[in-house]
């Protein structure tokens, strides 16, 4: 186990360095931020002076050497847009993202397992049809459409909920529902598909023959066998949310890392993009390690490979 | 199909799929819808190209449900008074080309890499998985901006961007399933009988992995469409005067409180395409699965025939 | 498979832990907001300010919060007619070609207690002009102009410029003065000025709070404080004012301005146009450029895609700016004339079938994409081969500013320009002079006139700019002129506030009262 973790962390570290290199050089292919940062009417001299001061008139390799030197001193650069340390911006935004992702995924997984399992128990049945249609419709609906319609309906027409913003539990309702639609929809489908396979396998029949109750068959025996793909898909969906829930952050005014990333890419705020990728990548790599550990916990045979 | 499955099918009298289809109303409707979409894909731009671009500011944001301005305005008019129905039909070609190509490419590439990672071995597998980590952590918007800024913003480049961002999920799911399946007895048996790696992957592992991948694929269709929509909204990717459903959704975004139909109908089109794809893939799965096929064959007779559940065992054993 | 070591007990434990974690997550943010407190105004902006440093206050995102609320300027520009009015300076006189003397207001102090006098004012100006800082005031309005200050008396300051400065008092209207205790080497997030409100708190991503400054030199305002929040969707901003979560949304889209009792339009000093690249065939032929102008049905977009309150434009500056030429007449929609001009050009050997590309920028102004689609169709209908390409801001900028791509084709660039600084000089040089960073024209006689106008003052200056605007419009026809735009504000029912041409860049809390 320790050896597994050791090599895994080492490999992830190498991949992280590769990622940072890729981001550093690729982001510099997207143009010179001088024009975006300076006012549209700035003179050519001002532009040259700005580019020179921030090193954009130098080659990408030279810029990278400066970056390495700064990083070795613990300095990840200043955000061009906000004139503050880039890492500070990212770390400010990250808790919001993690909270949203955590709550939305926990609820989605729990609900999807129950709904998907029941649907798989009688494929083609009424429950299966309704739950499949509803979850798919939710997953394939444009999320901003749901978000804004939700605001207009529940905050403006009925006045049950606040329109947007951060605060107590009533502020969470709309964002979380919007955020859950896609993970829940996809998870229901995957749980259902995996359970279908598992329910018709021999060991479930054996369990049934032994007189194990139906609910135990579904939620313990079959589900456990269906677990690998469910965990994998859940992991991928979590990664999506860790990268930021852009629509929810934008519409509801939750200051997360998704909006920060989009603004920084569009505004060519290179230091912030780099810092944001660094932090999200670490979270994602960590999550993938946890998922691999879960595989082993769920299916001990995998350990022997 | 494994030999066991073939055996299971020959035991029963096989009803051909086209006779099974009408027995499942949902699948039938879904199939009909697919035919309609395919017709739009083939003929739409040629038949309705003019109507989709004809600007008529008097019919601006015209509400749906009225035939007064001609049947093409039945779904209303957009912000420039163009027929939403005509635009939906014309957009179907771009939409399907982009979304279907992107998801299928992602599935094939992801599936192949996943099989290698899950089956062949540690070294290569580790490299592939860390590569997947990097892909997952690379901001997809940045990828889009890089590709579409450095190269030309074309449909092909957009497809490449979208399929790269969707690749990791197929890769991971395939690998996870392969790791589990390859330990099952029948694979061991096949290996013992001298089946080559490729033979085992193709004959034993692919049939088990495929249903999950197909399930994800159908949902992914809408995810890719909506991702394309957000790219359009940010000014990257497909832009007017081209049309896709995603672009129509993005353009309707600013009018949600005044003219909901601008974003609603293209959103509905995405949703319906996804739903019918999903229903059909579920149906196909049941048809091709001897364990489940009885559900369709017996429709209209007894709803449940539990005694048949016991038949066909041995399709997948686990020991 | 082995599932003996598996129990529900284990699971229920995990569920409990999960539930506890969820509770913690919610609890951490359960700081219920106390909105609608008595005399506090809540303003919902379209984006979070990038910073709040006083030397960036003429950037609209910063200015809406800080300018004239927290930090003040020596002079102010009256939004109605562009007249220069006293603010921190009480009077000014011209000493020489390059130097002006400003008498400063007495009895003023900064929020941190530092006195406002000639010395502290000089310090604030030199900080703004320091090239170590990327102050927007310097980069936007003082590109090649250097200011030097000389303290003459306790409240008398001489400001000199490195070239003739006929309109220095106008220029000083964009220089906001911060406390002498502001760090010289970096931009700050907590500006300290002399204004009627002082900076209180900034919760990044969420809100900025200002409170009334009791030591203010001027009249005590009614509003006791302000809370700034931001939502990027116009629909949400409009909804927030409607339900009372916010009092003012300074900027909402035209399609959300549906309630005449709350929504006010105001000219926002923006002028829209398509910039014609006059160097590329077929656009190098004036007949084709005029044809584009005649083919554009200006009235069709007004009141449909764009607001009904926009004005037809004939030049880059709005009527309240010194140098606006009121004699220029809008070219009426006349497709027949456009076709005739194109036919003439074709007969003269101009390649009128060559592709012309409209380069548009997404989200440049509300419904900008639809406007471009409509204009493309109008140009096509008179027989021109026009294509539209919309792009994001970074790619669009490549076409906007020099150096231009040598291989570019015939381009019509969707552009918008904002000048509420009182004088046409802030627009003309950049957009039309040979050396202008965004100029696509180079007309030698006009260039001489531009250089001369920049040194003149009074009526001569006004007339010189008017002549330049006439040349651009009549002789060069270098643009497809669109509109002087308007913005919409939604004002909640408990507030009295009328938006003006300056609302886009500054939002004066002192002018607001409660009903």
For residues A301 and A51, which has the higher predicted lDDT (pLDDT)? A51
Mean predicted confidence (pLDDT) in B80-107: 91
Q: Distance from first CA to last CA of chain B, Å, rounded?
A: 20
Beta strands per DSSP E along B85-218: none
The answer to whether residue B207 sits within a structural domain is yes
Sign of CA dihedral A121, A126, A131, A137: positive
**Distance from chain centroid for Cα A213:** 37
Number of H helices, E strands in chain C: 14, 21
Structure confidence at residue C13 as a pLDDT band (50, 70, 90) = very low
Residue C406's pLDDT is what? Answer: 87
Contact between C395 and C343 under an 8 Å Cβ cutoff? The reply is no
The answer to whether residue B317 sits within a structural domain is no
CA distance C298 to C313: 10
Exposure class string for B170-203: b at 16+ Cβ within 10 A, else e: bbbbbbbbbbbbbbbebbeebeeeebeeeebbee
What are the residues of chain C with a beta carbon less than 8 Å away from any beta carbon of chain B? 1, 234-235, 238-239, 253, 255-256, 258, 300-301, 304-305, 361-363, 366-367, 369-370, 372-374, 376-377, 387-395
Question: Shortest CA distance to C188 belongs to which of C71, C74, C89, C76?
Answer: C71
Mean predicted confidence (pLDDT) in B55-75: 82
> Which H helix or E strand runs over C200?
strand C197-203
Beta-carbon pairs below 8 A across chains A and B = 203
Mean predicted confidence (pLDDT) in C219-242: 93
Residue B187's pLDDT is what? Answer: 64
Residue C24's pLDDT is what? Answer: 45
Count the Cβ atoms, other than its own, within 10 Å of residue C236: 29
CA distance B170 to B223: 14
Question: Shortest CA distance to A100 belongs to which of A288, A240, A277?
Answer: A240
What's phi and psi for B258, nearest 5 deg?
Answer: -105, -45
**Does any CB of chain A come closer than 8 Å to the CB of residue C423?**
no
Max Cα separation, chain C? Answer: 97
- Domain map of chain A by residue range? 2-72, 87-300
CA distance C186 to C189: 10
pLDDT digit string, tens, across residues C473-489: 999 999 999 999 999 99
Q: Could you tell me the CA-to-CA distances from B170 to A46, A305, B113, B176, B178 in Å, in that order?
A: 49, 22, 9, 10, 12
Instruction: Residue B206: give its domain's CATH number.
Output: 1.10.3720.10
Mean predicted confidence (pLDDT) in A285-300: 84
pTM for the model: 0.85
Residue A143's pLDDT is what? Answer: 85
Cβ neighbours of residue C2 under 8 Å, at least 6 residues apart?
A: A300
Contact between C130 and C187 under an 8 Å Cβ cutoff? The reply is no
CA distance B225 to A225: 32
Cα torsion for B265, B266, B269, B271, to the nearest 10°?
A: -100
Residue C401's pLDDT is what? Answer: 86
Q: How far is B236 from chain A (nearest CA, A)?
A: 10
Q: Could you tell me the CA-to-CA distances from A219 to A54, A184, C11, C142 in Å, in that order?
A: 58, 18, 11, 71
Instruction: Return mean pLDDT, chain B.
Output: 79
Mean predicted confidence (pLDDT) in B1-20: 56
Smallest Cβ–Cβ distance between B258 and the set C258, C361, C373 belongs to C258
The answer to whether residue B18 sits within a structural domain is no
Residue C417: both structure tokens together? 């320009």
Phi-psi region of B281 (alpha: psi -120 to 50; beta: other; left: phi over 0): alpha
Q: Is the pLDDT of residue A53 over 70?
A: yes
Residue B305's pLDDT is what? Answer: 42
Chain C residues whose CB is inside 8 A of the A168 CB are 26, 29-32
Contact A136 B130 (CB under 8 A): no
Residue B297's pLDDT is what? Answer: 64
Mean predicted confidence (pLDDT) in B281-299: 70
Residue B299's pLDDT is what? Answer: 53
CA distance A248 to A245: 6
Instruction: Return mean pLDDT, chain C.
Output: 88
CA distance C213 to C195: 8
- The domain in which residue B305 lies consists of 24-312
The answer to whether residue B13 sits within a structural domain is no
pLDDT digit string, tens, across residues A264-277: 988 889 999 999 99
Q: Is the pLDDT of residue B303 over 70?
A: no
ipTM: 0.87
pLDDT digit string, tens, across residues B239-273: 888 888 888 988 888 888 888 889 899 999 988 98
Q: Distance from first CA to last CA of chain C, Å, rounded?
A: 74
Contact A142 B134 (CB under 8 A): no
Residue A83: both structure tokens together? 């004139």
Residue C209's pLDDT is what? Answer: 96
For domain A87-300, give the fold. Answer: MetI-like fold (1.10.3720)
Q: Is the pLDDT of residue C201 over 80?
A: yes
CA distance A102 to B218: 26
Mean predicted confidence (pLDDT) in C382-405: 89
pLDDT digit string, tens, across residues C56-103: 888 888 999 999 999 999 999 887 777 889 999 999 999 998 899 999
Which chains form contacts with chain A, at 3 or more CB pairs under 8 Å?
B, C
CA distance B94 to A68: 44
**Strands C225-230 and C40-45, sheet pairing:** parallel
Smallest Cβ–Cβ distance between C1 and the set A92, A152, A225 belongs to A225
Structure confidence at residue C1 as a pLDDT band (50, 70, 90) = very low
Closest-approach residue (CA) in chain A for C203: A92
Residue A199's pLDDT is what? Answer: 75
3-state secondary structure at position B291: coil
Contact A236 B172 (CB under 8 A): yes
- The secondary structure of B229-255 as a DSSP string is HHHHHTT-SS-TTS--HHHHHHHHGGG
Smallest Cβ–Cβ distance between B257 and the set C256, C304, C361 belongs to C256
* Helix locations, B182-205, DSSP H: 185-192, 197-200
Residue C12's pLDDT is what? Answer: 42
pLDDT digit string, tens, across residues C35-46: 444 689 999 999
Residue B203's pLDDT is what? Answer: 75
Contact between C446 and C394 under an 8 Å Cβ cutoff? The reply is no
pLDDT digit string, tens, across residues A79-91: 888 888 999 999 9
Contact between C393 and C295 under an 8 Å Cβ cutoff? The reply is no
Structure confidence at residue C457 as a pLDDT band (50, 70, 90) = confident
What's phi and psi for C384, nearest 5 deg?
Answer: -90, 150
Chain A residues whose CB is inside 8 A of the B219 CB are 136, 139-140, 185-186, 189
Lowest mean pLDDT across A5-9, B207-211, C202-206, C228-232: B207-211
* Domains identified in chain C and CATH numbers: 9-46+196-262+492-514 (3.40.190.10), 72-177 (3.90.76.10), 267-486 (3.10.105.10)
Angle at C61 between CA C55 and CA C64, to 5 degrees: 85
Count the Cβ atoms, other than its own, within 10 Å of residue A253: 27
Domain count within chain B: 1
Residue A64: both structure tokens together? 């990278």
Smallest Cβ–Cβ distance between A221 and the set C3, C134, C140 belongs to C3
Angle at C355 between CA C351 and CA C356, to 5 degrees: 105
Beta-carbon pairs below 8 A across chains A and C = 156
Contact A167 C30 (CB under 8 A): yes
The answer to whether residue B19 sits within a structural domain is no
Count the Cβ atoms, other than its own, within 10 Å of residue A156: 18
Q: Which of A103-117, B145-159, C12-26, C425-439 is modeled with the greatest confidence?
A: A103-117
**Does any CB of chain C come closer than 8 Å to the CB of residue A165?**
yes
Residue B192's pLDDT is what? Answer: 67
pLDDT digit string, tens, across residues C121-160: 999 999 999 888 888 888 888 877 889 999 999 999 999 9
Question: Shortest CA distance to B276 belongs to which of B221, B207, B213?
Answer: B221
Chain C residues 200-229 within an 8 A CB cutoff of chain A: 204-206, 229
pLDDT digit string, tens, across residues A163-204: 998 888 899 999 999 999 989 998 998 888 888 777 777 667
* Cα Rg of chain C, angstroms: 27
Residue C15's pLDDT is what? Answer: 45
Q: How far is B66 from chain C (nearest CA, A)?
A: 21
Mean predicted confidence (pLDDT) in C336-346: 95
For residues C374 and B124, which has the higher predicted lDDT (pLDDT)? C374
Smallest Cβ–Cβ distance between B271 and the set A12, A141, A305 belongs to A141
Q: Distance from first CA to last CA of chain A, Å, rounded?
A: 13
HEC secondary structure over chain A? CHHHHHHHHHHHHHHHHHHHHHHHHHHHHHCCCHHHHCCCCCCHHHHHHHHHHCCCCCCHHHHHHHHHHHHHCCCCCECCCCCCEHHHHHHHHHHHHHHHHHHHHHHHHHHHHHHHHHHHHCCCCHHHHHHHHHHHHHHHCCHHHHHHHHHHHHHHHCCCCCCCCCCCHHHHHHHHHHHHHHHHHHHHHHHHHHHHHHHCCHHHHHHHHCCCCHHHHHHHHHHHHHHHHHHHHHHHHHHHHHCCCHHHHHHHCCCCHHHHHHHHHHCCCHHHHHHHHHHHHHHHHHHHHHHHHHHHHHCHHHHHC
Structure confidence at residue B217 as a pLDDT band (50, 70, 90) = confident
Smallest Cβ–Cβ distance between A203 and the set B141, B218, B318 belongs to B318
Structure confidence at residue B308 as a pLDDT band (50, 70, 90) = very low
Give A214's strand partners: none
pLDDT digit string, tens, across residues C250-267: 999 888 998 999 999 999
Residue C254: both structure tokens together? 């035209």
CA distance B105 to B102: 5
Sign of CA dihedral C36, C39, C40, C41: positive
Residue C23's pLDDT is what? Answer: 46
Lowest mean pLDDT across B14-28, B30-44, C1-15: C1-15
Mean predicted confidence (pLDDT) in B69-85: 85
Contact between C316 and C328 under an 8 Å Cβ cutoff? The reply is no
**Distance from chain centroid for Cα A160:** 29
Q: Is the pLDDT of residue C197 over 80?
A: yes
CB burial of residue A58 (10 Å; 0-12, 13-18, 19+): middle
Lowest mean pLDDT across B123-137, B179-193, C495-509: B179-193
Residue C4's pLDDT is what? Answer: 37
Residue B44's pLDDT is what? Answer: 85
Give C376's strand partners: none
């Amino acid at each position: 186990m320790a050896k597994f973790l050791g090599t895994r962390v080492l490999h992830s570290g190498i991949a992280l360095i590769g990622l940072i290199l890729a981001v550093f050089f690729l982001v510099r292919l997207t143009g010179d931020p001088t024009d975006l940062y300076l006012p549209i009417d700035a003179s050519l001299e001002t532009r040259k002076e700005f580019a020179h001061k921030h090193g954009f008139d130098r080659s990408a390799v030279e810029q990278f050497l400066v970056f390495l030197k700064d990083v070795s001193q613990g300095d990840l650069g200043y955000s061009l847009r906000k004139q503050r340390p880039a890492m500070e911006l990212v770390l400010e935004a990250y808790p919001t993202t993690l909270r949203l992702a955590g709550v939305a995924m926990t609820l989605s997984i729990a609900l999807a397992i129950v709904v998907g399992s029941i649907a798989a128990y009688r494929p083609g049945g009424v429950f299966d049809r309704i739950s499949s249609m509803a979850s798919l419709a939710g997953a394939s609906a444009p999320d901003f459409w749901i978000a804004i319609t939700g605001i207009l309906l529940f905050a403006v027409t009925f006045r049950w909920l606040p329109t947007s913003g951060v605060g107590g539990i009533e502020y969470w309702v709309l964002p979380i529902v919007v955020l859950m639609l896609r993970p829940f929809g996809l998870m229901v489908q995957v749980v259902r598909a995996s359970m279908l396979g598992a329910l018709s396998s021999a060991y479930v029949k054996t369990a049934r023959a032994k007189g194990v109750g139906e609910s135990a068959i579904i939620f313990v025996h079959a589900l456990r066998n269906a677990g690998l793909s469910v965990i994998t898909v859940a992991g991928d969906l979590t990664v999506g949310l860790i990268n930021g829930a852009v629509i929810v952050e934008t519409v509801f005014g939750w200051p997360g890392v998704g909006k920060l990333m989009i603004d920084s890419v569009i505004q060519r705020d290179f230091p912030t993009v780099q810092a944001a990728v660094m932090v999200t990548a670490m979270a994602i790599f960590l999550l993938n390690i946890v998922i691999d550990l879960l595989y082993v916990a769920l299916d001990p045979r995998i350990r022997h490979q | 199909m494994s030999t066991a499955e073939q055996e299971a099918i020959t035991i029963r009298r096989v009803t051909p799929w086209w006779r099974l289809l009408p027995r499942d109303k949902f699948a039938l409707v879904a199939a009909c819808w697919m035919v309609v979409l395919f017709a739009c894909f083939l003929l739409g731009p040629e038949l309705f190209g003019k109507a989709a671009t004809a600007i008529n500011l008097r019919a601006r944001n015209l509400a749906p449900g009225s035939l007064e301005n001609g049947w093409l305005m039945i779904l209303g008019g957009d912000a420039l008074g163009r027929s939403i129905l005509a635009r939906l039909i014309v957009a179907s070609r771009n939409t399907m080309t982009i979304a279907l190509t992107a998801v299928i490419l992602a599935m094939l590439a992801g599936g192949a890499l996943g099989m290698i990672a899950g089956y062949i071995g540690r070294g290569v597998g580790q490299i592939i998985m860390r590569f997947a980590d990097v892909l997952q952590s690379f901001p997809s918007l940045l990828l889009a901006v890089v590709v579409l800024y450095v190269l030309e913003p074309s449909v092909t480049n957009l497809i490449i961007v979208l399929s790269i961002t969707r690749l990791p999920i197929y890769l991971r799911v395939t690998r996870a399933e392969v790791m589990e399946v390859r330990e099952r007895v029948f694979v061991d048996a096949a290996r013992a009988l001298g089946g080559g790696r490729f033979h085992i992957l193709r004959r034993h592992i692919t049939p088990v992995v495929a249903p999950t991948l197909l399930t994800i694929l159908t949902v992914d269709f809408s995810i890719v469409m909506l991702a394309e929509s957000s790219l359009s909204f940010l000014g990257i990717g497909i832009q007017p005067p081209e049309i896709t459903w995603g672009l129509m959704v993005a353009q309707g975004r600013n009018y949600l409180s005044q003219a909901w139909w601008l974003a609603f109908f293209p959103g509905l089109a995405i949703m319906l395409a996804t739903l019918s794809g999903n229903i059909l893939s579920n149906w196909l799965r049941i048809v091709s699965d001897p364990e489940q096929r009885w559900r369709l064959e017996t429709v209209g007779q007894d709803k449940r025939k539990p005694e048949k559940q016991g038949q066909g065992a041995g399709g997948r054993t686990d020991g | 498979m082995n599932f003996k070591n598996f129990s529900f007990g284990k699971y229920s434990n995990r569920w409990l832990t999960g539930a506890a974690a969820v509770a913690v997550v919610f609890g951490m943010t359960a700081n219920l907001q106390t909105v609608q407190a008595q005399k506090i105004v809540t303003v919902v902006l379209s984006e979070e300010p990038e910073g709040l440093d006083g030397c960036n206050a003429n950037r609209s995102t910063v200015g809406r919060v800080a300018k004239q609320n927290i930090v003040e300027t020596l002079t102010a520009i009256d939004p109605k007619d562009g007249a220069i009015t006293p603010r921190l300076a009480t009077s000014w006189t011209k000493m020489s070609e390059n130097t002006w003397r400003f008498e400063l207001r007495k009895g003023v102090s900064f929020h941190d207690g530092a006195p406002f006098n000639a010395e502290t004012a000089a310090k604030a100006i030199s900080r703004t002009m320091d090239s170590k800082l990327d102050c927007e005031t310097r980069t936007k309005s003082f590109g090649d102009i250097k200011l030097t200050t000389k303290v003459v008396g306790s409240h008398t300051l001489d400001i000199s410029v490195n070239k003739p400065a006929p309109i220095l008092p106008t220029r000083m209207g964009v220089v906001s003065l911060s406390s002498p205790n502001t760090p010289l080497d970096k931009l700050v997030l907590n500006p300290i000025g002399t204004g009627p409100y002082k900076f209180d708190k900034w919760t990044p991503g969420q809100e900025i709070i200002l409170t009334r400054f009791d030591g203010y030199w001027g009249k005590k305002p009614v509003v006791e404080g302000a809370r700034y929040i931001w939502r990027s969707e116009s629909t949400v901003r409009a909804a927030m004012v409607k339900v009372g979560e916010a009092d003012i949304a300074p900027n909402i889209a035209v399609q959300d301005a549906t309630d005449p009792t709350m929504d006010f339009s105001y000219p926002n000093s923006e002028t829209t146009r398509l910039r014609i690249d006059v160097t590329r065939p077929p656009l190098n032929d004036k007949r084709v450029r005029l044809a584009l102008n005649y083919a554009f049905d200006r009235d069709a977009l007004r009141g449909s895609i764009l607001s009904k309150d926009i004005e037809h434009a004939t030049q880059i500056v709005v009527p309240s700016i010194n140098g606006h030429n009121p004699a220029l007449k809008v070219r009426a929609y006349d497709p027949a004339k456009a076709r005739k001009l194109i036919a003439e050009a074709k007969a003269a050997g101009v390649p009128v079938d060559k592709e012309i590309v409209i380069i548009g920028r997404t989200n440049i102004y509300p419904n900008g994409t639809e406007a471009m689609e409509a204009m493309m169709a109008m140009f096509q209908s008179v027989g021109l081969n026009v294509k539209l390409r919309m792009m994001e801001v970074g790619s669009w900028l490549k076409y906007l500013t020099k150096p231009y791509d040598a291989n570019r084709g015939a381009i019509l660039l969707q552009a918008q320009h904002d000048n509420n600084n009182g004088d046409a000089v802030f627009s003309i040089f950049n957009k039309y002079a040979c050396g202008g960073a965004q100029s696509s024209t180079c007309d030698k006689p006009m260039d001489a006139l531009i250089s001369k106008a920049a040194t003149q003052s009074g009526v001569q200056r006004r007339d010189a700019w008017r002549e330049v605007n006439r040349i651009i419009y009549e002789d060069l026809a270098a643009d497809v002129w669109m509109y002087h735009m308007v913005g919409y504000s939604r004002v909640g029912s408990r507030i009295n506030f009328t938006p003006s041409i300056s609302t886009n860049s500054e939002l004066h809390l002192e002018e607001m009262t409660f009903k």
